[in-house]
């Protein structure tokens, strides 16, 4: 019989992860976007070698009409959704977008071609407002 392989967790904060210090998970899935960056948790995961899986990187569509986001997306030649996904991928997160529309799924796949200059990443980093679509997990 085989043993347990890699273990991942969802919505674990630093205190939860510290309880697993001697046997840390391989990944932690939690909500993260330019509007909810969780820098302290991200830094902790990086230091511990825990891969971040970005949950709700499109903010459930609730911020796609943000004027500054639209402007930056237009300047980068992409949609606001693609820009949010590119930010997440550029940060090194495993990114899980959700869509039931075929054209949106295809556009999401095209994100890997989007290269974001440092100044665009800095602009997106400035969107932090602790906005969570799942506040019970913050």
The pLDDT tens digits of the residues spanning 43-94 come to 999 999 999 999 999 999 999 999 999 999 999 999 999 999 999 999 999 9
pLDDT at 6: 84
**Strand pairing report for 27-31 and 94-96:** unpaired
Q: Does domain 8-132 have CATH number 3.40.50.720?
A: no
Cα distances from 52 to residues 1, 13, 17, 41, 118, in angstroms, run 30, 12, 13, 10, 21
- β-pair partners for 22: none
Distance CA 43, CA 37 (A): 11
CB-based burial label for 4 (10 Å; 0-12, 13-18, 19+): exposed
Stated pTM of the model: 0.87
The secondary structure of residue 78, as a DSSP letter, is S
pLDDT at 134: 75
Q: What confidence tier does 138 reach under pLDDT thresholds 50, 70, 90? A: very low
Q: Using one digit for the tens of pLDDT, what is the confidence trace for 105-137?
A: 555 556 567 889 999 999 999 999 999 997 654
Alpha helices in the chain (DSSP H): 14-19, 39-48, 67-76, 80-90, 102-109, 118-125
Distance CA 72, CA 83 (A): 8
| Sequence spans of domains, the chain | 8-132
């Amino acid at each position: 019989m085989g043993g347990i392989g890699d273990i991942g967790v969802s919505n674990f904060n630093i205190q939860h992860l510290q309880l697993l210090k001697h046997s840390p998970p391989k990944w932690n899935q939690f909500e993260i976007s330019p509007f909810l960056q969780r820098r302290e948790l991200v830094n902790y995961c990086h230091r511990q070698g825990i891969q971040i899986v970005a949950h709700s990187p499109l903010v459930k569509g609730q911020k796609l009409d943000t004027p500054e986001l639209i402007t930056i997306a237009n300047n980068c030649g992409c949609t606001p959704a693609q820009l949010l996904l590119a930010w997440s991928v550029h940060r090194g997160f495993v990114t899980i977008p959700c869509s039931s529309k075929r054209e949106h799924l295809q556009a999401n796949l095209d994100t890997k071609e989007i290269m974001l200059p440092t100044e665009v990443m800095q602009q997106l980093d400035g969107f932090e407002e602790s906005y969570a679509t799942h506040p019970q997990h913050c």
